[in-house]
Amino acid sequence: MKARALTPLDRVLVEIERALGSALDSRPIAQRPSPAEGIEDTVLSDAERRHAGGLMRINHVGEVCAQALYSGQAAVARNEALRSQLLEAAAEETDHLAWCGERLDELGDRPSLLNPLWYGGAYAIGAVAGLIGDSLSLGFVVETERQVEAHLEGHLKKLPEADQRSRAIVSQMKEDEARHADNALAAGAATLPRPLPDLMRAAANLMRTVAYRV
């Protein structure tokens, strides 16, 4: 008996089950070496370490959300080339997630306790954007990555100057996010209508405020 082809909804359900069953509790393995390799871990004061931990927890949540967004968009993408592009970007986000997790361990801190919530919400947003259309889905990528790029630039200014390991990770992440946005633009991204970018920015600000502590 011939197996039934998976519909976009089937793929969404499969991805949600996979995320809830294992991905959120696992330690991802980076395909690329950490940018912090070879950089000495200098001594930070307790206040500096807590602050760096809070900032890197925010970055870790951002990568959880990026994984979910790209996976949700890829699950419903109509175009195979677009799906491949989204999954390639998601693989780089896995590197970011692993690097941030490693750095949190080094700082004696932990990921956000709300990661399952962040993942589920971001996945749903990505899937909805993808279902509306590929060009809008790409536009969502561009806007997301531009906002993340600006957010990471802000963290480079906020991280303790002595925390060169965290700064190296954030710098590489910022470079990767800019490239993801450029690739989406080149693939035909549509400009998101107002007030979507403002709503995305407000949601991201709320996430950062909560994730810094929880």
Mean pLDDT value of segment 46-50: 97
- The pTM of the full predicted model, rounded to 2 decimals, is 0.88
**Tokens standing for 23?**
């991905």
Residue 59 has pLDDT above 90, yes or no: yes
73-109: pLDDT as tens digits: 888 888 888 888 888 888 888 899 999 999 999 999 9
Least confident of 10-19, 54-63, 88-97, 181-190: 10-19
Nearest to 145 by CA among 193, 95, 86, 103: 86
Residue 103 neighbours by CB under 8 Å, 6+ apart: 36, 56, 165, 166, 169
Which of 103, 119, 107 lies closest to 25, judged by CA? Answer: 119
Domain edges within the chain: 44-211
Average pLDDT, integer, range 167-185: 95
Other Cβ atoms within 10 Å of 46 Cβ, number: 8
Q: Which residues are within 8 A (CB) of 77 and not within 5 positions of it... i.e. 6 or more apart? A: 83, 86, 130, 134, 137
pLDDT at residue 25 in the model: 57
Say what the pLDDT of residue 75 is.
Answer: 85
Q: What's the pLDDT at 90? A: 84
**Please, where are the H alpha helices in 1-79?**
8-21, 46-76
Closest by Cα among 87, 82, 84, 94 to 70: 87
Which of 13-17, 129-133, 174-178, 204-208 is predicted least confidently? 13-17
Residue 22's pLDDT is what?
Answer: 37
Q: What angle do CA 95, 172, 108 make, to 5 degrees?
A: 65
Q: What percent of the chain shows pLDDT beyond 90?
A: 57
Tokens encoding 79: 């175009």
Q: How far is CA 47 from CA 51, 112, 154, 164, in A?
A: 6, 19, 19, 16
* pLDDT the model gives residue 29: 85
Q: Is the pLDDT of residue 68 over 70?
A: yes
Contacts of 110 (CB under 8 A, 6+ apart): 57, 104
- The CATH number that domain 44-211 falls under is 1.20.1260.10
Max mean pLDDT range (15-24, 42-51, 84-93, 136-145)? 42-51
- Work out the angle at residue 77's Cα, subtended by the Cα atoms of residues 90 and 6, and round it to the nearest 5 degrees: 105
* pLDDT tens per residue, range 101-160: 999 999 999 999 999 889 888 888 888 988 988 898 899 999 999 999 999 999 999 999
**Dihedral angle computed from the Cα positions of residues 102, 29, 186 and 140, in that order, rounded to the nearest 10 degrees:** -70
Q: Nearest 5°: phi and psi at 110?
A: -140, 160
Range of lowest pLDDT (8-12, 21-25, 39-43, 116-120): 21-25
